[in-house]
Amino acid sequence: MKIPLFTWIFLIPFLTIFSGVNVVLVSGQCRDQRPLLELKNSLTFDNFTSTKLVKWNSASDCCEWPGITCDDGGSGRVISLDLSFAGINGGLDDSSGLFSLQFLQNLNLSFNTFNTTLPVRFANLTDLISLNLSNAGFIGQIPNDISKLTKLVSLDLSTNSFLGGPALKLEKPNFATLVQNLAQLEELILDGVNISAQGSDWGKALSSSLPNLKVLSMSNCFLSGPLDASLAELRSLSIIRLSSNNLSAPVPKLLANYSKLTSLELSSCRLNGIFPQTVFQIPTLEILDLSFNELLQGSFPEFHQNLSLQTLLLSSIANLTQLFYLDLSSNKFEGRIPSFRKSKNLTYVDLSRNNLTGEIPSGHWEGLLSLTYVGLGSNKLEGPIPSSVFYLANLNVLELSSNKLNGTVELHLVQKLPNLTTLGLSYNNLTVIASGKNSNVSSLPQIKKLRLASCNLRVFPDLRNQSKLFHLDLSDNQITGPVPGWISELSLLQYLNLSRNLLVDLERSLSLTSLSILDLHHNQLQGSIPAPPSFITYVDYSSNNFSSFIPPNIGNYLNFTFFFSLSNNHLTGAIPQSICNNDWLQVLDLSNNSLSGTIPSCLIEGS
């Protein structure tokens, strides 16, 4: 019989009401209440953190309890249980009510501290599609029984950080045995598990058992290399995270075969050889992290500065339109910086500590308005800093220190970067102009770290409104005059390096309680030595013109100090006994002064 469409529309409200009644009648008795209450009673948990468990009580239908989802067919069976971040401290073993929840498909116990081995009876939950036990505090060998969960699509047993060794391990059974029956698996997340397998073993196990794998996350798993060639068969892989494993091998070209690859993280893997340029042609790539592979060589697809726009657009990296995060720091990449023109979503670029040469291309930054981080420090870049860099309005970090850049930078240009928190221009051949008719200090962004060492500065930059500043390096310049008094108003300042300048005086004592490191060495400071700030750990007053005697109570200022140098000054008189009232001092240098008198007992060998 055909029912006209309008009749169906007419019937829908009635059907809805009817099934609503149905739910109340049948699943009024949620059928898994007993095992759930058993589970709750066996667990130890923190009543304050555990906002879900405290609401589990027989006064309401257990299908309505927080963290519980029942089958929508009205069977009254629990199919999902989410007790993540539930403040659970223990109480799960093989007798737990949890393992009577026969219909469970999704189980999330992440971020608790169970502090026990994995119960073998997880294997009873044969309907599980998704099992998330990440950072749940399970320890020891992963039981073989997990491999019986053949419907699993997602398995997460990761631990992010561990003190005193990895929490979980795969020894007997080994990795191959664990995954051999999990053919449905699309997400395998085992970061931090001690898998301790050879490259050919774990690679072959993955490729032969998990044909549908999309997410492979096994960073920090004590894996060794190489990356097995059979991995190329896993055509669906889109996320590969293998950072912090000692692979000690080259990156195989097979990576470029993953046409759906969005994320490749191989940081700190001791990779060597030459990184295949073809990876820069995978158009889906969003995240690429190869940082800290000190032996890894590589370069970007070749292009020249003066190529026509059209040729530039054809150069390979220009095709990475989805690229979002690029960290190639601390490798051996050489050649020129690539064009990022088409990567409009790029937010993070760190190419620091490589052997990159050539100029910082000027035309490549326009329109990259998502960029927040640009790290190009410690390369061999030359030429001027292109002014287009100062139009990246969302930039937080601009670090260009330790290159061979030249030219003049007017500090007021950073006004155009209202979100800038770190600026590093140290150790180039730059001349930074910090004052002049164009400088308008009242509108500088709220910088936290300013590194202007060796920048040919001649005057002290006016930073009196930079109330968020905590790291200031103006060392190795030709700044004359006094240390301005407003420094003592920068109440967050922790690191102050004014060494190797021509400073003569302190306008005010540096009474900053936040200050931890103070380096004033190699200036022309005179008079008696200034009292160190109260929580200082490192003080260098050496190679100045300080005279007079060392204050008798100097030890009272050095309660947290491990390094204190007064060498190469004109100090006279005795070494105060108060120096001995200090537990932390490791280096005390008073050499090249005109001190006299007895040496305090604590400084004599053997005491």
Ligand X SMILES: *[C@@H]1O[C@H](CO)[C@@H](O)[C@H](O)[C@H]1NC(C)=O
Q: Which residues of the shown chain bind ligand X in the complex (CB under 6 A)?
A: 120-121, 123-124, 145, 165-166, 169, 171, 194, 196, 222, 224, 246, 248, 270, 281, 314, 316, 319, 321-322, 344-345, 440, 442-443
- By beta-carbon proximity to ligand X, the closer residue of 295 and 599 is 295
CB 492 within 8 A of CB 467: yes
Of the pair 11, 314, the CB lying nearest ligand X is at 314
What does the block give as tokens for 548? 């007079």
Q: List the beta bridge partners of residue 240.
A: 216, 264
Answer yes or no: are the C-beta atoms of 297 and 320 closer than 8 Å: no
CB of 393 to ligand X, least distance (A): 15
CB of 272 to ligand X, least distance (A): 10
**Strand 44-45 relative to strand 88-90, pairing:** antiparallel
> Nearer Cβ to ligand X, position 247 or 385?
247
User: Strand, helix or coil at 70?
Assistant: strand
Closest distance to ligand X from the beta carbon of 367 (Å): 11
In angstroms, give the least distance from the CB of 27 to ligand X: 24
Nearest residue to 378 via CA among 360, 399, 361: 399
Run of H or E residues at 179: helix 175-179
Structure tokens at 549: 């005697």
Q: Provide the minimum distance between the beta carbon of 316 and ligand X in the complex, in angstroms, as a whole number.
A: 4
Give burial (CB, 10 Å; 0-12/13-18/19+) of 158. buried
Contact, 454 vs 473, CB < 8 A? no
CB of 162 vs ligand X, minimal distance in Å: 9
Residues 318, 300: contact at Cβ < 8 Å? no
Question: Closer CB to ligand X, residue 321 or residue 355?
Answer: 321
Residue nearer to ligand X on the CB measure, 96 or 212: 96
Nearer Cβ to ligand X (207/248): 248
Nearer to ligand X, 166 or 358 (CB): 166
Smallest distance, ligand X to C-beta of residue 377, A: 26
DSSP state of 458: -
Rounded CA separation 599/576 (Å): 9
* CB closer to ligand X out of 16 and 443: 443
Closest of 168, 250, 179, 177 to residue 216, by C-alpha: 179
Run of H or E residues at 325: strand 325-327
C-beta of residue 344 within 8 angstroms of C-beta of residue 370: yes
Kindly tell me which of 159 and 316 has the beta carbon lying closer to ligand X: 316
Compute the least distance from the CB of residue 543 to ligand X, in Å: 39
**Smallest separation (angstroms) from ligand X to the CB of 200:** 13
For 81-122, the DSSP string reads: EE-TT--EEE---TT-GGGG-TT--EEE--S----EEPPGGG
Paired tokens of 139:
């320890």
